[in-house]
Structure 1
Amino acid sequence: MSETSLPNYISVATELQQAGLAVSPAELHGLLVGMLSGGLGLKDNSWQPLLFDYTNDGMGWPQSTLQRAQQLLNKSSEELTDTTGFELSLFIPDEQVDATVFELADGLSEWVNHFISGIGLIGADLKKASVDSKEALQDLEEIARLGIDEDDDLEEQAQLLEQVIDHVKVCVLTLHAEFGAKPSDKQEKPVIH
């Protein structure tokens, strides 16, 4: 897997805002990962019109912002198809941007909601899903509705939220394993005569 990492959250938020797009970085990333997990082809640009329809009333995006979305898509595709490690990055506000536990929880909720939308947009046949995938999707739907209560112990809530984030990653990997496109092995295997 390459060593590319996700860009700075605040920079992407600023880019999206300056482009007049009413979508947060968490929502954008969740949508893209949802499309990948639902079966978007690895070399398929059909995600762009879906993205335009879903986020901008069908209008195209500025080229620089679209390239940023492509960068996020590529990074996520690498992570989801890497068979040596099962690591998935969620592009949500975190300690790197001094996010509060409330901002982190809101970002996670946005990410999960848009992930579910991405699976739907790409047309994954969830009616034929395995029991594990159906359970993962149910868990994600419940997680999307979670919130943090101001009166609760915020340190304890932050620790619980980290566990929820880890569970979201497992759910995403479960869904991608069933519905997501896999890289072709044909070019990697030598032909023996």
Structure 2
Amino acid sequence: MSAIELPDWNEVAQAADRLALASSPAELHGALCGWLAAGGADAPDWPARVMADPGVPAPQAGDALDRLRSASVAQLGDADFGFTLLLPDGEPPVVRAAALFAWCRAFLGGFGLAVEGKPLSEEGQEALRDLASLGAAQIDANDDGSDEEALVEIEEYLRMAVLLLHADCALGPQHRARLH
């Protein structure tokens, strides 16, 4: 686990409400992480960038959305793989799974905005396909929520997939630039 913790789900929800953002904390974090993983700029006005809406105001310095950005940047760059997804704690697995699927859809949107034709490794392409499959997934109305273990495994896989995509798109070009 990273020493850099993400802000609390409720803090992010309240900060999003203050800016009139019609996105859940999972969607905001997913879009931000997609943007950053694809090599998008670490910028204080990130909500406007990841929502492709220049009219979205920038968060106040130090508020939950600003801390979400700085923690996400730090976690993606953590050599100890301390990256975590912002999902609701203490909720039934079916609620957390719905948030995870929304996180994936938002990740794909943010990633698509920033990737700009950067080449992906074969593993990166597979990870992106898997994220798309999860983003398209639906909750089974008859699900009794007993798949906690499966949800934990999917979340762990997603963490590694996001770090792989970040390495392909953001870290790879940075390392190549330093070599020249």
Residue 49 (structure 1) shift: 3.8
* Residue 89 (str. 1) matches residue 88 (str. 2): no
Query: Structure 1: which 5+ residue stretches go unaligned?
Result: 186-193
C-alpha change, 1:18 and 1:63, in structure 2 (3 Å) is closer
SS at structure 1 position matched to 2:136: coil
Correspondence list, 1:46-57, <5 A: 47=46, 49-51=48-50, 53-54=51-52, 57=53
Amino acid at match of 2:164: T
| Identity percentage of aligned residues | 30
C-alpha change, 1:32 and 1:66, in structure 2 (3 Å) is farther
Correspondence list, 1:51-70, <5 A: 51=50, 53-54=51-52, 57-61=53-57, 63-64=59-60, 67-70=63-66
What TM-score, normalized to structure 2?
0.83
Question: Distance between the aligned counterparts of 2:2 and 2:103, measured in 1?
Answer: 24
Amino acid at match of 2:124: S
Residue 32 (structure 1) shift: 0.9
Instruction: Tell me the equivalent position of 2:120.
Output: 129
Instruction: Tell me the equivalent position of 2:138.
Output: 147
The count of corresponding residues between Structure 1 and Structure 2 is 175
Query: Structure 2: which 5+ residue stretches go unaligned?
Result: 176-180
Instruction: Tell me the equivalent position of 1:114.
Output: 106
* Alignment RMSD (CA, Å): 2.8
Of the two, which has the highest radius of gyration?
Answer: 1
Question: Distance between the aligned counterparts of 1:5 and 1:46, measured in 2?
Answer: 21
SS at structure 2 position matched to 1:69: helix
Residue 48 (structure 1) shift: 5.1
Residue 62 (structure 1) shift: 5.9
| Aligned pair partner of 1:160 in 126, 147, 150 | 150
Instruction: Tell me the equivalent position of 1:178.
Output: 168
What TM-score, normalized to structure 1?
0.78
Correspondence list, 1:15-26, <5 A: 15-26=15-26
Residue 104 (structure 1) shift: 0.4
Instruction: Tell me the equivalent position of 1:4.
Output: 4
* Residue 72 (str. 1) matches residue 64 (str. 2): no
- Residue by residue, what CA displacement relative to the aligned partner does 1:92-121 show, whole Å, maximum 9, x if unpaired? 1122xxx12221011101111111111111
C-alpha change, 1:23 and 1:152, in structure 2 (3 Å) is closer
Amino acid at match of 1:100: P
Shift >4 Å, 4+ stretches: none
- Residue by residue, what CA displacement relative to the aligned partner does 1:134-172 show, whole Å, maximum 9, x if unpaired? 0000011011122332434422x2221111111111110
Question: Distance between the aligned counterparts of 1:60 and 1:153, measured in 2?
Answer: 39
